[in-house]
Chains A and B, each alone.
Chain A
Amino acid sequence: MSSSRDDFGIAFRSALLQRGAAQKFSLISLIILAIIIFFLDTYNLKFMNPIRSVINDGIYRVSLVASSPSRFLPNLTEGITNLIGVKNENARLKKELEIYKLKELNVEYLTNQNKNLKKILETDETLFEKNIILSKVLIDKNSPYLKSIIINRGSQSGILKGMPVMDKDFLIGRIVETNYLSSRVLLLNDLNSRIPVTFGKNGVQAILKGNGGTKPVLEYLPEGYIVEEGVDVFTSGKDGIFLPGSPIGITTKNKEVKLFSEPSQLSFVKIDLAKKRKEDF
């Protein structure tokens, strides 16, 4: 019994401390280093911010280059499709559909806004002033746990944490991390995402909560409220961060919302700098 315990101890100690020709670092030293780095980063110590920012910018750029082969194949397929002529037709049809969708959304948005403006708006007029910049999606690694993308604009372009990010006119998420040349966008379907929304003729208020899947869910609804399917959901602007009335998606069964913008198909996004303008004032 004691011999087997000794064996365990020896093997475990050896595993932790072992170093050799190819192992320049012992496991225990690296584990301690990783724990220190983890706590320094988690508790957001000030001196870590510029370091993290530089590391992030560097790695995002390298990641973009490293990912080019994985992008090559879809591009090649797209090229072949283009040759056949299907792509053009598809694009034309998509464009037409987009115009119709936008028209429909605009009508519904204006109707709802007129009805509920006084009720749902507690924000000042400066929020309506738009100052939008376009950004390219650098990395959209589909993590099993976190849903986020990296864009090629950072604090250099005036981006701040919390700014809303749009795909066309649809809200897709918000900035959660800014570096000098890049930023991370937390998508609406991420488990950590919470957005105040409004929908329906009565301007029902709710929180749209990401669930890690493709369809976020509506929470904090009025007691006993039954969500109808096919109702458009908009931002309410209650948090003072998002512009009120930005279309998000359409309600489906089980209080879920099907997003207008497919999170896995993002190439370019728009960032609304309106919040910064407000802060400047």
Chain B
Amino acid sequence: MIISKTLRSLINFGPIILLYYLSISEIDTHFENFFEILSFNIQLIIIYFWVLKRPEVLGNGHIFFAGLINDVVMGIPLGLSSLTYLAVSLVATYVKNMTVNTRITTDWFTFFIAILFSNLIFYFLIINFSDLSISFVDISYNTFFTLIFFPFFWFIFSFYNSTLLINRYV
């Protein structure tokens, strides 16, 4: 009984655990050894999907802290990733408020707006307010590949959502 309860809560916390783990671990999302320009941001996909589909699973506070951790690990100014993550969360919440039922195509399109918005914030802040310089081309590639990989993760997360996740609030 206790084991099944623990397992259930562990499954419910899956997206949060994954988000924190990706932010803190040195798992790469830049595969330059395979293809120099291939990089994507799984965190943005996780945030967008779960805020859109089941916001109770991924709290804003967790998104904020995951961003702070990511900033420390990546060596970029504190608060920057938090802002970009929250920007994605804002778009997802807005889309959720405005729509009743969405399909992968609509999710994909609105996700494009979300990552465009968040990556523009990222680029604007880092170029104008920090000593770091980053390449606009790299950000564009990252945005492109994140968008390309979205459906793949959408299906995985949808499967997880529909078959494994137990709704705690029903």
Contacts and interface: CB of A to CB of B under 8 A. Distances in A.
Interface string B72-105: 1111111110110011011001101110000000
A34 B67 contact: yes
Contacts of B139: 145
Interface residues of A, number: 56
Interface in A1-58: 7, 11-12, 14-16, 18, 20-27, 30-31, 33-42, 52, 55-56
B82 A30 contact: yes
A139 B82 contact: no
Given A38-B125, A70-B26, A142-B32, A25 B135 contact: no
Contact of A23 (B28, B33, B59, B76): B59
Nearest to B20: A66
B130 interface: yes
B22 to A, nearest CB: 10
A39 B57 CA distance: 30
A139 B83 CA distance: 24
B30 A24 contact: no
B24 A59 contact: yes
Contacts of B142: 144-145
Contact of A144 (B29, B56, B57, B64): B29
A12 B29 CA distance: 32
The 9 residue pairs across chains A and B that have the minimum distance between CB atoms: A38-B79, A144-B39, A37-B79, A22-B56, A15-B93, A34-B82, A142-B28, A41-B78, A11-B97
